Amino acid sequence: MLAGFAEIDITPPPGEELTGYGYFLERHAQGTLDPLFGRAVALSDGEARAVLVQLDLLGLPRWLVEEVRARAERELGLPPAHLMLHCTHTHSGPATMPLYGCGTPSEQFPAALIPQVLTLVSQALADLKPVTASERFEGDFPDGFAGNRVGLPDLDTRVRGVRFQMAAGAPILLFSYACHPVVLGINREYSADYPAYAIRELNAYGLRALFLNGPCGDVDPLSNRYRWGAGTQETLRLYGHDLAGVVRRALLQATEAPASPLRACSRRIPLPMAMPDAAAVLEASLAKARAAAQRHPEDGPRQVDVMWHERMLELYAAGTLDDAMRAEVQAIACGGMVFVGLSGEIFTRLGQMIRAGAPGHHVLVANTCNAVLGYISTHEDVEAGGYASLGSCKLYGMPLPTPDAGERWAAEGAGMLRELLA
């Protein structure tokens, strides 16, 4: 087994609009609290290769992911299913994809990001060196800093990871935990939020670390429960210290795990939609939305509602509504260890359903991977008309799901995982 690591600073100059909160805040970065990084781990079993990329960003649009993957295949010989692009989902990073009312990307940053990601992938592949031991670890974090924010009982308190001991160079570590990086609230500085501080501490212990944020669509930091957005840089240091501490203690009990063969697969799985059969129904609804927005020009959600209706009508006209409601499930398996990438903000229970597709394997599930569709929630949230299944769909420009959409999507993702590992 071979592994390689690369890291580059992707922080843009001040001025980019920060993304993740709404509505119409015009939240342009005035400086940098902590730098934004791209990190990559390359893996090879001597025949196949794969690369996992971590970016300190909220999410990526489909066009950018397709461009990066196409160029990686053409220039580096890396098949699309073998390249996973994960965003940690910090809400203090520059906009890279349009979120209606919550951040508009500039022309400069997404374009500059493409060659940066390709450089990162290339450097990680060039760094491939023999692995002397591959290990899996996990530890419980029941008193951690995460809590379910929508009132559901679901919460994954496990910290999971993989360590590759290297013949030359520091060990390479991949670890996961699930919590929204929204500790700072509505700030005006670039920040990678709590993951950066956990990585920084692990680096200080001689580990080259990459973070995968788990299914956190329904999970927020506990600091927001007491007073939303009250977190400070000291809060970030505390959360990073605590998370890194769980990782270090779990490493003491790490067990050897086979890391080959290397296999990968990917599928864009449809979510059932609760949308009108005819565009005329949506056109009538748009007329009402425009009238309401004209009466309330300062009402952000009403303005976004108009934008969403216009976007849906564009999809109807192009005949691409079905295609727009597909979210990728990707899996990269290294022997008994599996990295799963999900293209949305995923609720905890759905992530656990997909994990169940790989019994007996050590599975790290990451959300907000590749082309982010939007929130993918459980039936309770859809039936209640919660933010994840209604308000956020309009921010993302995503069609509305049926109540069972998330569960059906997760079940198909679990089936795909079983097929890969059979």
pLDDT digits (tens, 9 = 90+) for 317-357: 999 999 999 999 999 999 999 999 999 999 999 999 999 99
167 occurs within a structural domain: yes
What is the per-residue pLDDT for 97? Answer: 95
Query: Tens digits of per-residue pLDDT, 158-172?
Result: 999 999 999 999 999
In this prediction, residue 130 has a pLDDT band, given cuts at 50, 70 and 90, of very high
Dig out the tokens for 178 from the structure.
Answer: 């699930």
- The whole-angstrom separation of Cα 350 and Cα 353 is 5
* Closest-CA residue to 102 (of 34, 30, 18): 18
> What is the pLDDT averaged over residues 367-375?
98
Dig out the tokens for 299 from the structure.
Answer: 């009402």
- Supply angle C-alpha 127, 131, 135, rounded to 5: 125
CB 120 within 8 A of CB 153: no
SS3 of residue 401 by DSSP: strand
Whether 115 and 155 share a structural domain: yes
What is the per-residue pLDDT for 229? Answer: 84
> What is the pLDDT averaged over residues 403-422?
97
Whether 181 and 249 share a structural domain: yes
352 occurs within a structural domain: no
Q: What is the mean pLDDT of the chain?
A: 97
What is the per-residue pLDDT for 85? Answer: 99
Whether 73 and 176 share a structural domain: yes
Query: Tens digits of per-residue pLDDT, 258-300?
Result: 999 999 999 999 999 999 988 999 999 999 999 999 999 999 9
> Is a pLDDT exceeding 90 seen at residue 177?
yes
Q: Classify residue 366 as left (phi > 0), alpha (psi -120 to 50) or beta.
A: beta
Dig out the tokens for 360 from the structure.
Answer: 């007996």
Query: Tens digits of per-residue pLDDT, 40-70?
Result: 999 999 999 999 999 999 999 999 999 999 9
264-to-41, 159, 175 alpha-carbon distances in Å: 15, 23, 19
Whether 314 and 171 share a structural domain: no
80 occurs within a structural domain: yes
> What is the pLDDT averaged over residues 253-258?
96
Whether 146 and 293 share a structural domain: no
How many domains in the chain? 2
354 occurs within a structural domain: no
Q: Residue 105 is part of which domain span?
A: 2-259
What is the per-residue pLDDT for 128? Answer: 98
- Supply angle C-alpha 297, 301, 303, rounded to 5: 45
What is the per-residue pLDDT for 230? Answer: 86
CB 194 within 8 A of CB 234: no
Whether 8 and 79 share a structural domain: yes
193-to-24, 322, 355 alpha-carbon distances in Å: 22, 35, 26
Whether 193 and 286 share a structural domain: no
Least confident of 71-80, 219-228, 339-348, 402-411: 219-228
Whether 186 and 136 share a structural domain: yes
In this prediction, residue 228 has a pLDDT band, given cuts at 50, 70 and 90, of confident
CB 217 within 8 A of CB 177: no
User: What stretches of 27-119 adopt beta strand conformation (E)?
Assistant: 37-44, 49-55, 83-87
Single pTM value for the model: 0.97
Whether 71 and 210 share a structural domain: yes
Query: Tens digits of per-residue pLDDT, 69-123?
Result: 999 999 999 999 999 999 999 999 999 998 999 999 999 999 999 999 999 999 9
> Of all residues in the chain, what percent carry a pLDDT higher than 70?
100
120 occurs within a structural domain: yes
To which H or E segment does residue 334 belong?
strand 326-334
239 occurs within a structural domain: yes
Helix, strand, coil percentages, rounded to 5, for the chain: 35, 25, 40
Identify any residues that bridge with 9 across adjacent strands, giving them in sequence order. 37
Whether 111 and 19 share a structural domain: yes
Write 141-145 long-range contacts (CB < 8 A, 24+): 141/177, 141/242, 141/243, 141/246, 144/177, 144/179, 144/242, 144/243, 144/246, 145/179, 145/194, 145/221, 145/222, 145/223, 145/238, 145/239, 145/242, 145/243
In this prediction, residue 227 has a pLDDT band, given cuts at 50, 70 and 90, of confident
14 occurs within a structural domain: yes
Whether 145 and 62 share a structural domain: yes
What is the per-residue pLDDT for 226? Answer: 85
> Is a pLDDT exceeding 90 seen at residue 140?
yes
89 occurs within a structural domain: yes
Whether 286 and 249 share a structural domain: no
- The whole-angstrom separation of Cα 261 and Cα 43 is 11
